[in-house]
Each structure stands twice: as C-alpha cells, then as structure tokens.
Amino acid sequence: MHFAQPLALKSGAQLRDYSLVYETYGTLNTAKSNAVLVCHALNASHHVAGTYAGQDRSEGWWDNLVGPGKPLDTNRFFVIGVNNPGSCFGSTGPMHPHPDTGRPYGADFPVVTVEDWVDAQARLLDALGIQQLAAVLGGSLGGMQALSWSLRYPQRLRHCVAVATAPNLSAQNIAFNEVARRAIVTDPEFHGGHFYAHHTLPRRGLRVARMIGHITYLSDDAMEAKFGRSLKNGAPSYSTQDVEFEIESYLRHQGDKFSEYFDANTYLLITRALDYFDPAREHGGDLTAAFASAVCKFQLVSFTTDWRFAPARSREIVKALVDHKRDVSYAEIDAPHGHDAFLLDDPRYHGLLRAYFDKVAREFGHV
Amino acid sequence: MHFAQPLALKSGAQLRDYSLVYETYGTLNTAKSNAVLVCHALNASHHVAGTYAGQDRSEGWWDNLVGPGKPLDTNRFFVIGVNNPGSCFGSTGPMHPHPDTGRPYGADFPVVTVEDWVDAQARLLDALGIQQLAAVLGGSLGGMQALSWSLRYPQRLRHCVAVATAPNLSAQNIAFNEVARRAIVTDPEFHGGHFYAHHTLPRRGLRVARMIGHITYLSDDAMEAKFGRSLKNGAPSYSTQDVEFEIESYLRHQGDKFSEYFDANTYLLITRALDYFDPAREHGGDLTAAFASAVCKFQLVSFTTDWRFAPARSREIVKALVDHKRDVSYAEIDAPHGHDAFLLDDPRYHGLLRAYFDKVAREFGHV
C-alpha cells in the first residue's frame, strides 16, 4: 500500500512517499473486531504464515503459530503481517530511491523508531478500515512494537501479547548491537552506506554481525547441547583460520547465508530502533509512569534461558502494569533454547498462546 | 633467555631457536623453595608487577596483587613472570623472523597450546635452576596454565592457584573467539596474516575483536551500573553511525587502544590456545581421569558474576580433585565485576589469596 502523506518520525525527520508491503490471513468479520496485527523483529517480514504457491521452503516466519487450527487460528482471526519501513523485504527501505535524488537512500534513509513503525502500522489499519484490533502480537523487537501500541493507541487494541521482550535494551544489549554495527560500517565495501552505487556489498561485516547475533539468540546450554566441543573432523588439525569446531562451522554458515540476503543499512536501522526504544525515558526512567496510558489487557511471556531479553526484563513490565492494576497475565516458560524459543513450538508456550487467543476469540463471539 | 634446542609442540610441529622474555621479583632463597610462577592470560605479559624507572603508568598487570607486602609478597617469594611464545610482548612471536626465511613468521607461526607454554616455562625454570615451585598462579587462560602444570609436571609444584578459569571452553566461549577471529581474518588489511610485509595492520578487525572480548569480560550488571543507557550527549541525535550511548564510546575507545598495540596473529594464536585446552579430551571427556596425576595442593577461585568462566566451571575442577581426595580449597567470591574481577583488588578475594600465600610461605619456613 502506497502512502502519499509523509510520515512524521520521532527524530524530527519525515518519510515521504513510502509503501508498506503486507499480507493478511483469514477473513475480517463484519464487525471488524477479529483483526490481529503481528509485528516482526530484526530478521523477519510481513510474511508471517503460510507458503507461496510453487515455492519450496517459503513458510512464514511464525507459521508454527499462525494458521488454520493453529494457536493464532486464522479460521477465527484476521491476521495482518506488515513489513516495517527501513526493512529490506519490500516496504520502503534504504535500497529504494530517495525521492529527491532518484538514487538509493543508502545511509541517508531516515532513522526509524519503534514508535514510527507503530504509527505506520496504524495508518495501514486506517486504510484497511480497522478501528480497533483484537490484539497486537510480537516477540523480541516485535514485542516492543506491541507494547508501544498499548501506549500510543490505547483505544485501538483490546489485547497486547508481548513475548521475549524488554522495556528497553540493557547496556550489554546495546554493546552487542554496536559491535555488529562497527563490523558493518568499517567494512571497506560499506562505502559509507552507499555501497549500492559501487555494485558491492559489505558481506564481511554482515557475516560478523550475524555471528554475534546468533550467539545471543541461543542459550549457553543450548549451544553446549547442540555443538559442545565437537570437532568438525574428529581430531584437531591445529589451525588458527580453518574450521576446527562444529560451532564455528555453524556460525560461519549462518553468517554466510545472512550476508547474501540482508541489507547492511537495514541492519543498522533496525538495531538502532532496538537501542532507542525506551518508553520510560520521557518519564524520567519511571516505567510505571510510562504505562499510565495503557488500558488493554496484557499477556507477557518470557523464557528462562533467554539471556538477551531475560525474564527479569518482562517482570519489570508486569510490575509497571500491576502498579496500575491493569489486567496482566505473565508466563515464564522453562525452555532451554534461549531467546530463539519465541520462534519455536514449545508445547507449553504454544498451549498458553492457544488458550489466550481462545479467550480473545470468545470476546468477539466466536465460541 | 634464548633456547637453541627446538621446542616440540602438541601439534607435531616445533618451535626452533626461540627466546623467552621474563621478569623476576624478590629473591630466590638458598633452598630455591620460594619461587612462584605467574602465568599470563590473553592480553598480558612477563611484566607482572612493579613499574619501569621513569615510565609513567608502567605498572605490571597484576601489580595490585604482587609486590612487597602485597598478597603475593615479594619480600618472601621469588616471583617469575614469563611472556609466552606466540605473544607480541617480547618472546618469540609471529612478528619475529622465521629462521628459514628471515621474514616475519606471520600466519606461519606454529599453533601453540597451553601445554606447549607450560613446557617452555619448565625449560626456563630448568635454566634458572629451580626444580620445584612453591606455587603456580594464574587467572583465566593463566589459570589453565596453572592447571596444566599440575598435570604435566606434578612433582614440580607444591601449590596450584587457579583463578576464574575452566577445564575447557564451552561452545559459547569458542563461538565468541571465532567471531573475533573472523573479524580479524576477513579484514582486507590482514593479508592472510602477512600484513607486516604490506606495512599495514588489520586495525578494523582487531577493534571488533576487542569490543567483543570486552563485553564478555564484564558482567551484565557491572555494565548496567557503569554505563546503563546514558547518552553521550544527553539527548538522542538519531544516527546509526555516530556514538550515541556511553557504552558505545567506551567500547570504541577500548577497541582503538587495543588495535594500536596488539598483534593480530597473536590474537589468533592465543584464542586458539584457549579453544584447544581440554585435559579431559585424552580421557574420553572424563575430567576426573584427567586429574589422576595431580598431586599438589589446589586453591581455586571463581566470581559469582563471571559468565565467561562461570563458577560452575571451577566446581567441575573441584569435583575432579575431590574424586581423588586431593587437598583442594575453593572460594566463590561474590563480586559484581564479571570475569575482570580476577584483575581487581576485591578485599575478600585478595584477603583470601594473602592468607593462602601466608600458608605457602610457612611451609618453607618463612614465619
């Protein structure tokens, strides 16, 4: 969907003449009361569920959760996935032409925030004629968008389902993002963010960025269980540069794959959106004050082994909501997979979300 | 000290015609029974204690622990610091000429292991006429060397003091090392490890490597307490590339400093020595079996917030020693600083080491 009206951004800049790519699943009911918005995290898109005809391995990134008969059941709900501006999966982003010059934005793409994405999503809903969402659902950075919805548009959602998320990034979280950004920005092929014009890609930087990211997505224990100290070739070959351990092979493979499809400027933009999200900042760091405007019901979920967005961070949000006597339910799932658990189909986790969405469906009369 | 006799390495290669730089503090007693070897970790050297005349800020890396009247009291002990081969602080390393070609070894420097370093240290002691050490002391990678001493030369030390260490690296530890190595190796200025001939340095890779390292040296809580989400300029400037948060400024500074003095090939060699250390491997992964040969007394120390070498890793070693009914004392220090705590002067930690070395001194008659 194309938007001719500029989007005012939190930075003071604006995004002009942009498009959002979105997908929907299921049918909007006549009362328009069964819509659920699913917000994506760093490395995902509007393609939440289902497969594309004739395309192998084209499952949506949350296909295990969203679909007919699944926990977020598209026989009941009208589910919307939208790609955020600044991304590299279809919506207007750094690889698209700057309206002033006709050349790719590159590093000149305006800095976008979680709040800006939520505003863009709200405009999409306006265009779709949906005044109030049954729920906004997101994990990780997507969970931050769900939380932001509850604060910016409190009347436009009845439920906020925020999984494996945090009220802001810790210093350590920012530190990991910054190392990844430095790896990209200092890659000579980055060319100050205008690598498109040089017909090249900062692949080396993207690989290192992705390897760092992967370490933080997995728990120490999960990595130990999956790879341990296994050697690729059974015995050490005593080399500083060759692959020696299985974990190295895995990380290099993940880095290589990522560097072929992900845009370097998008990586910078999305990690910055993570860094900046901090609804308490405007309230002197008081998260309870920040949540004063929220009126919807909340379901929060965290995973015991998630050290990127640890359970304690979700509990901060729960406390802020309880301080306001809001309707909040919180589940801490004992799962071994670290942050990645939010994308996996742990039966307790999916059972919980199924029960929650069943309740949401009953509210609009779907028995 | 120069060694004309080649050193046989674990890899099967050998190191020919090498030198070790070392420093000593205090006086060797006539019985030669008061010597303590201090082993260094990644980023340190033979310069353990004291300052160089006329050089500001030239304190040794463990100067808070080692010196006259300090916990490891050089009025009683003869302390030896030795730079390991492969390092970049004086002993034969990748920047020195290969004896075959006369050109710098670069990436052709043989892969060295913890065991090789211990063998080189033992030869130095032979040359110094010291048959048995009162103690070997080390932290982190230095602690691995202390453990290795107890296994390779069980009769040559009476005490092993291993701080903030582990019986091997976890998959996550290896993963962090590998990302750092990839950042260095893929820096175009690395030139396959022969950058000396190109009169350049892979500074970008070293910076990223050091930034990653620094994150793992500090605890999440210490980083939060020291930097939190403080902005460098008070308010956000909305930039993807400029420094925005204090933590970014700190990490960039650490990376810049490091890239000016540390050798890239040394970084690869030392992280590989960490990866390879695994005394249990030759015993089918059975750490208890690995420690069967150890006969000295042990003091192990870990720090509660050290997530790089967590207390659980030290407890594995304690268990292996207890299985053999060895004399082992273990302290888990409640300290906020993460892995870096082993270099700081936490009073409980230093008090413990002072008491331990007092006991060691009494054994050779120093009251």
Cβ separation B238–A13 shorter than 8 A: yes
SS3 B134: coil
Interface test with A, best of B182, B186, B240 (most A CBs within 10 A): B240
Residues β-bridged to residue B31 = none
Contacts of A214 in chain B (CB under 8 A): 175
Interface test with A, best of B172, B184, B218 (most A CBs within 10 A): B172
**Other CB atoms within 10 A of residue B57 CB:** 6
d(CA A309, CA A301): 11
SS3 B327: coil
Residues of A annotated as part of the active site: 140, 306, 339
> So what's the pLDDT on residue A367?
56
Cβ separation A168–B229 shorter than 8 A: yes
Convert the pLDDT of each residue in B102-146 to its tens digit.
Answer: 999 999 999 999 999 999 999 999 999 999 999 999 999 999 999
Tokens of A291: 């949540």
Under the banding of pLDDT at 50, 70 and 90, the label for residue A365 is: confident
Cβ separation A107–B183 shorter than 8 A: no
Under the banding of pLDDT at 50, 70 and 90, the label for residue B236 is: very high
Interface test with B, best of A240, A274, A287, A339 (most B CBs within 10 A): A240
Q: How far is CA B94 from the centre of its chain?
A: 18
> So what's the pLDDT on residue B365?
79
Q: Stretch A293-297: mean pLDDT, rounded?
A: 97
B84–chain A nearest CA distance, Å: 17
Cβ separation A172–B215 shorter than 8 A: yes
Tokens of A30: 């006549």
Contacts of A185 in chain B (CB under 8 A): 241
> So what's the pLDDT on residue B364?
84
Q: How far is CA A87 from the centre of its chain?
A: 11
Cβ separation B107–A241 shorter than 8 A: yes
Convert the pLDDT of each residue in B2-38 to its tens digit.
Answer: 999 999 999 999 999 999 999 999 999 999 999 999 9
d(CA B277, CA B283): 13
> So what's the pLDDT on residue A198?
96
Q: Stretch A14-41: mean pLDDT, rounded?
A: 97
Q: Which residues contact A239 (CB under 8 A, 6 or more apart)?
A: B111, B272
d(CA A109, CA B336): 40
Convert the pLDDT of each residue in A298-351 to its tens digit.
Answer: 999 999 999 999 999 999 999 999 999 999 999 999 999 999 999 999 999 999
Contacts of B211 in chain A (CB under 8 A): 175, 178-179, 182
Contacts of B207 in chain A (CB under 8 A): 182, 186
Q: Stretch A64-69: mean pLDDT, rounded?
A: 98
Contacts of B247 in chain A (CB under 8 A): 171, 174-175, 178
Contacts of B245 in chain A (CB under 8 A): 171, 174, 178, 275
Q: What ipTM score was computed for the predicted complex, to two decimals?
A: 0.95
Cβ separation B170–A224 shorter than 8 A: yes
> So what's the pLDDT on residue A364?
84
Angle between helices A141-152 and A264-276 (to 10 degrees): 50
d(CA A219, CA A342): 13
Cβ separation A171–B247 shorter than 8 A: yes
Q: Which residues contact A90 (CB under 8 A, 6 or more apart)?
A: A21, A45, A46, A83
Residues β-bridged to residue A72 = A66
Tokens of A2: 């194309």
Nearest-5° angle of CA B209, CA B8, CA B168? Answer: 45
Q: Helix, strand, coil: what percent of chain B each, to 5? A: 40, 15, 45
Cβ separation B224–A268 shorter than 8 A: no
Name which of B208, B224, B272 is nearest A179 (Cβ-Cβ): B208
Cβ separation A229–B183 shorter than 8 A: no
Convert the pLDDT of each residue in A255-265 to its tens digit.
Answer: 999 999 999 99
Convert the pLDDT of each residue in B53-96 to its tens digit.
Answer: 999 999 999 999 999 999 999 999 999 999 999 999 999 999 99
> So what's the pLDDT on residue A54?
95
Find, in chain B, the residue whose alpha carbon is nearest to that of A282. B235
Q: What is the dihedral of CA A117, A122, A124, A128, to 10 degrees?
A: 160
Instruction: Please answer whether residues B40 and B47 qualify as being in contact, where contact means their C-beta atoms are separated by less than 8 angstroms.
Output: no
Name which of B193, B247, B275 is nearest A175 (Cβ-Cβ): B247
Q: Stretch A68-73: mean pLDDT, rounded?
A: 98
Contacts of A174 in chain B (CB under 8 A): 229, 245, 247-248
Residues of B annotated as part of the active site: 140, 306, 339
> So what's the pLDDT on residue A60?
98
SS3 A39: strand
d(CA B215, CA A173): 10
Instruction: Please answer whether residues B145 and B153 qualify as being in contact, where contact means their C-beta atoms are separated by less than 8 angstroms.
Output: no
User: In this complex, how many residue pairs, one in chain A and one in chain B, have their CB atoms less than 8 Å apart?
Assistant: 164
Find, in chain B, the residue whose alpha carbon is nearest to that of A205. B183
Quote the mean pLDDT of chain A: 97
Instruction: Please answer whether residues A156 and A131 qualify as being in contact, where contact means their C-beta atoms are separated by less than 8 angstroms.
Output: yes
**Other CB atoms within 10 A of residue A11 CB:** 16
User: In this model, does residue B331 exceed pLDDT 90?
Assistant: yes
Quote the mean pLDDT of chain B: 97
Tokens of A165: 């998320």
Number of alpha helices (DSSP H) and beta strands (DSSP E) in chain A: 10, 13
Cβ separation A182–B244 shorter than 8 A: no
d(CA B340, CA B319): 24
What's at B282, amino acid-wise?
Answer: E
Convert the pLDDT of each residue in A208-223 to its tens digit.
Answer: 999 999 999 999 999 9
Residues β-bridged to residue B104 = B97
Q: Which residues contact A17 (CB under 8 A, 6 or more apart)?
A: A2, A3, A4, A6, A92, A99
Give phi and psi for B297, each to the nearest 5: -90, 150
The position carrying tokens 């082994």 is: A305
